[in-house]
């Protein structure tokens, strides 16, 4: 069965520290990859997405992610976090299958807390 | 352009009751997907509707159903509520729900079953 794994459930770091969140998926076919963020009290928002082309994608708020096909990974990075980056981050995969209509498979999420 | 809207935002029901949740997609979007978010199971896909037809379905019991109207608005119904149905129910819309589409999420409906 397809699955999406996020390595860390909770991450605590200080402002200006660098952030890297791991995401691995298990599907050998074509995939589209997403990172969503859920700020406290707000709805899920798209941070960035990878469909094809350059495996290094840039998103909003200084985030970027790298797709490494050989490792089935799509890790999220930010060089210097701010307190406002405190949120829950979700990796999601849309696998190209016969029943992929409107279906995203999500990782369990990583709660990131940035301390001042 | 207005985002995805969901009503109501909060609901409290008791076991055995039924509930209907509503979702209005972004204008021009024809695909609506529903997800259940719980602390234990995370985000799980319920079903997807396109052109008033359910096109995809997750692994949820038949108590969970939905429909879509000609204006693309969608409703989700849960019958015979159980305590475990307490969750945040999220609706997402996309242009056509295809493999290359991006889904945009609403704020969710927080359902509490007592």
Tens digit of each residue's pLDDT (9 = 90 or more) over B71-93: 999 999 999 999 999 999 999 99
Please give the Cα distance from B56 to A3 (Å, whole number): 18
pLDDT 10s digits, A11-61: 999 999 999 999 999 988 889 999 999 999 899 999 999 998 999 999 999
Q: Kindly give, in sequence order, each residue whose CB lies less than 8 Å from that of residue A48, ignoring residues fewer than 6 positions away.
A: A34, A35, A57, A58, A59, A60, A63, A64, A65, A76
Closest CA relative to residue B31, chosen from B6, B7, B4, B58: B4
Task: With cut-offs at 50, 70 and 90, classify the pLDDT of residue A8.
Answer: confident
- Chain B's closest residue to A109, CA to CA, is B42
Task: Test B33 with A45 for CB contact under 8 angstroms.
Answer: no
Residues of chain A with Cβ-Cβ distance to B34 below 8 Å are: none
Residues of chain B with Cβ-Cβ distance to A104 below 8 Å are: 33, 35, 43, 45, 92, 103
pLDDT 10s digits, B18-65: 999 999 999 999 999 999 999 888 999 999 999 999 999 999 999 999
Task: Test B42 with A108 for CB contact under 8 angstroms.
Answer: yes
Q: Kindly give, in sequence order, each residue whose CB lies less than 8 Å from that of residue B72, ignoring residues fewer than 6 positions away.
A: B25, B29, B30, B32, B93
Mean per-residue pLDDT over chain A, rounded: 93
Q: Are A99 and A82 in contact (CB under 8 A)?
A: no
What angle (nearest 5°) sits at the alpha carbon of residue B39, between those of residues B102 and B11? 85
Percent of chain A with pLDDT over 70: 99
């Amino acid at each position: 069965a397809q699955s999406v794994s996020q390595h860390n459930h909770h991450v605590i770091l200080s402002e200006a520290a660098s952030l890297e969140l791991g995401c691995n998926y298990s599907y050998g076919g074509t995939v589209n990859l997403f990172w969503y963020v859920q700020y406290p009290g707000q709805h899920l928002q798209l941070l960035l997405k990878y469909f094809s082309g350059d495996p290094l994608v840039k998103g909003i708020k200084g985030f970027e992610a790298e797709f490494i096909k050989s490792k089935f990974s799509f890790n999220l990075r930010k060089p210097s976090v701010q307190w406002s980056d405190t949120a829950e981050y979700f990796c999601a995969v849309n696998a190209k299958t016969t029943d992929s209509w409107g279906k995203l498979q999500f990782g369990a999420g990583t709660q990131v807390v940035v301390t001042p | 352009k207005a985002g995805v809207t969901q009503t109501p935002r909060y609901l409290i029901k008791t076991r055995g009751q039924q509930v209907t949740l509503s979702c209005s997609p972004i204008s021009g979007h024809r695909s609506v997907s529903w997800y259940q978010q719980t602390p234990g199971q995370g985000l799980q896909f319920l079903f997807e509707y396109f052109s008033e037809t359910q096109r995809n379905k997750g692994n949820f019991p038949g108590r969970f159903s939905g429909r879509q109207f000609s204006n693309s608005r969608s409703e989700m119904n849960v019958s015979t509520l159980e305590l475990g149905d307490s969750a945040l129910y999220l609706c997402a819309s996309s242009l056509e729900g295809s493999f290359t589409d991006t889904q945009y999420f609403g704020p969710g409906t927080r359902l509490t079953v007592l």
